[in-house]
Amino acid sequence: MSAPENAAAPETLSAPAVETVAAVEVAAVDKVFETRGGLVHALEGIDLTVAAGEFVSLIGPSGCGKSTLMRLVADLDAPSAGTITVFGKTPARARLDQEYGIAFQQAGLLPWRTVAANVALPLELHGATSADRKAKVAELLEMVGLADFADRYPDQLSGGMQQRVAIARSLAEQPRLLLMDEPFGALDEMTREKMQSDLVRISAETGAAVVFVTHSIPEAVFLSDRVVVMSPRPGRIREIVPMRFAGAGTAADDAGAAGPGATGGADTAARARRTEGLREDRSFFDMVTAVREALHGAPVAPGARGVETR
């Protein structure tokens, strides 16, 4: 695979607002697994662009290839066909340059390390000084509301708190992209809503793009600039639904007419305005309905509720 690649590691974290290169560009990607039982066509013809700073959720039935797509972007596996770039680099190069942080359903914390030491791990691995590590860890734990738990061990924390530690760790290298695969799947509903609000705030504060896998329509709607609806076997993108809320419009509004796979754009200020009240807003329910209809394959009139149809 010969994807475009920037040889030099960018030093542009101080100016995310002028980022023009897409966070993720997936072009004509197929993924076929060879198993003892034969070939499994997990993904077919996937085209998707995630803009810098944009929040995109992937939703679809079990087995439709959401995790597979995440693994390809994260360089944990390779596509059978097509190309993927992360900020214009191959996924492998982007991994080496620490362009993205990962938070998956299992928090994946090291049980013998304290909360602070878990968050510090990526910084340690990449040679940050002890003083830098300490300052950064304190800042991150403050951000996820765990400043008072720095010296605890993972098994002394609730599931939601462990997940917040994992998110803090994924942010340690100030990635411009977060890859999150059902990070809140195991949480109770109240904790989950709190975590969603935290993530909206954190992503707005950091300006990071997020690709987020979920089974929950309301979760996808609350968090995202655009929701990518996938269909099963082989996994394809069925529709991309831009989120539009009364009084909290996102830059994705402008992308509605741009066609399937188009870059949606990001408006972190609009995202920051997403508050708990949105969950009870009429436009929120309209978006939930739009995504549900897309998921179930019911026809949604072109242009209705801003649904991109592919």
Residues that bind ligand ATP (CB under 6 A): 33, 35, 40, 42, 60, 62-68
Give the SS3 label for residue 154: helix
> For residue 197, which amino acid is it?
S
Distance CA 82, CA 72 (A): 11
Q: Report, in Å, the least distance between residue 307 CB and ligand ATP.
A: 21
Distance CA 212, CA 181 (A): 6
Cβ distance to ligand ATP smaller for residue 83 or 105: 105
> For residue 256, which amino acid is it?
G
Contact of 283 with 245, CB cutoff 8 Å: yes
Distance CA 196, CA 60 (A): 19
Q: Report, in Å, the least distance between residue 68 CB and ligand ATP.
A: 3
Distance CA 88, CA 19 (A): 12
Q: Report, in Å, the least distance between residue 217 CB and ligand ATP.
A: 14
Q: Report, in Å, the least distance between residue 238 CB and ligand ATP.
A: 13
Q: Report, in Å, the least distance between residue 239 CB and ligand ATP.
A: 16
Cβ distance to ligand ATP smaller for residue 63 or 303: 63
> For residue 267, which amino acid is it?
D
Distance of CA 270 to the CA centre of its chain: 17
Cβ distance to ligand ATP smaller for residue 62 or 129: 62
Q: Report, in Å, the least distance between residue 168 CB and ligand ATP.
A: 24
Distance CA 274, CA 183 (A): 20
Cβ distance to ligand ATP smaller for residue 42 or 262: 42
Backbone angles phi, psi at 61, to 5 degrees: -65, 160
Cβ distance to ligand ATP smaller for residue 58 or 109: 58
Cβ distance to ligand ATP smaller for residue 70 or 141: 70
Distance CA 29, CA 238 (A): 15
